[in-house]
Copies of this chain bind each other. A is one copy, B any other.
Amino acid sequence: MMNNPPVVSTAAPVVVRALTRQSVPYTPIWLMRQAGRYLPEYRSLRAKAGNFLSMCQDPDIACEITLQPLRRFALDAAIIFTDILVVPDAMGCPVEFSEGQGPCFNQPIQTLADIKQLRGDTALDHLNYVFEAIQQVRVALPAQQALIGFAGSPWTLAAYMIEGSGSKDFLVARSWIYKNPSMLHQLLARLTQVIIEYLNQQIISGADVIMLFDTWGGLLSSEQYQLISLAYMRQIIAGLRRQQADRYVPVIVFTKHGGQWLNAIATTGCDAISLDWTTDVATARSMVGSRVALQGHLDPATLLGTRQALEVAVRQVLADYGDGSGHVFNLGHGIDRHTSVEQVQYLIELVKDHSRKYHLDEIDARS
């Protein structure tokens, strides 16, 4: 259950305040994959640095990439530059990223022995580069800008570790549900344990918000989603030390293609649900009421369209949420690499300009 009510300072970053449904003067915004290939400065750093994983593993580079979009744009949060698959890698299931290929595990998990060999608590010793990068970013970032830490959901990580790579439908991994359920649950439990400690260490290192990326939860049946994905995310949320002495660290859950299950997600104790681009904010708000905040859900394809279409879409998302706090503007999925920097700039201006009218009562209430 949620630790109610969280103690959130009025000086907390605006994203933290919105995620805990405190009053804010405008709808804050950050963008999934905001540090990425659509940015020329990212591409030039990547061309020098070589492969993706080594960039994640170098705290200086990870810090630099994390900050790149915040130098260009009036974003309200940074998200630490790393990948969800560094966790399996640290547990002893090595991942490779080859250009244009996506992630690859050359030794996918196949047996119980494979699972038992995975590192537990000691995996964290292999993730110090993430904690160091978080510390660096938090020092460099103005106090009003939140730093978001994150992890993949246990099911999402297990799906990659069993499948061995990305996949359209992760059918090898999904077949474990009906073939090796006990092995699958042992793997999920082990991942859950590591993720809790990993995220708590991110919080200690300076993360202001934690997000769980359940990228492949939407590939499960309703029943299995609850058992295989949601149950373990619930355990993780319960294990996080969100209430720190000086601050409260809200948790966001993102299940891609999870629109059918928002009510269930709202019961996990999370502070906010991130919506993909297929589930509109008005429907979501009517489903979850004021139990949790919402993040999302602009279609990343709008960033490839005209300025006019972008404006229409942005105003719709804001109107769909309507008056009051509890909304963090974001995309429903990561920014596409072909997005223009100008269009991102325009998006952020639109949100700042058009969101203030939905927060007038809050400003009045505070003054």
With a CB–CB cut-off of 8 A, which chain B residues contact A304? Answer: 171, 175, 178-179
Stretch from A123-131, A205-213, A276-284 contacting the other chain: A276-284
Contact A220–B175 (Cβ < 8 Å): no
Contact A178–B306 (Cβ < 8 Å): yes
Residues 285 to 311 of chain A near chain B (Cβ within 8 Å): 297, 299-302, 304-306, 309-310
With a CB–CB cut-off of 8 A, which chain B residues contact A260? Answer: 259-260, 278-279, 283
Contact B309–A179 (Cβ < 8 Å): yes
Contact B305–A177 (Cβ < 8 Å): yes
- For residue A273, give the distance in angstroms from its CB to the closest CB of chain B: 14
Q: Is A174 an interface position by the 8 A CB rule?
A: yes
Partner pick for A178 among B219, B222, B278, B309, CB 8 A cutoff = B309
A: number of interface residues (CB 8 Å): 41
Q: Is A183 an interface position by the 8 A CB rule?
A: no
Contact A305–B168 (Cβ < 8 Å): no
Contact A257–B223 (Cβ < 8 Å): no
Residue-wise interface mask of A (248-260) relative to B, using a CB-CB cutoff of 8 A (1 in contact, 0 not): 0000000001011
Q: Is A181 an interface position by the 8 A CB rule?
A: yes
Q: Is A336 an interface position by the 8 A CB rule?
A: yes
Bound-state Cα–Cα, A169 to B178, Å: 28
- For residue A14, give the distance in angstroms from its CB to the closest CB of chain B: 26
Q: Is A218 an interface position by the 8 A CB rule?
A: yes
Partner pick for A175 among B171, B179, B301, B316, CB 8 A cutoff = B301
Contact A179–B259 (Cβ < 8 Å): no
A178 and B313 contact, Cβ closer than 8 Å, known pairs A259-B260, A260-B278: yes
With a CB–CB cut-off of 8 A, which chain B residues contact A301? Answer: 171, 174-175, 177-178
Contact A309–B257 (Cβ < 8 Å): no
Closest 7 CB pairs of A and B: A178-B305, A175-B304, A178-B309, A174-B301, A222-B280, A179-B305, A259-B260
In the assembled complex, 21 residue pairs joining A and B whose CB atoms fall closer than 8 Å, in A order, are A171-B300, A171-B338, A175-B301, A177-B301, A178-B301, A178-B305, A178-B306, A178-B309, A178-B313, A218-B257, A219-B278, A220-B278, A221-B277, A221-B280, A221-B297, A221-B299, A221-B332, A222-B278, A223-B280, A225-B278, A257-B257
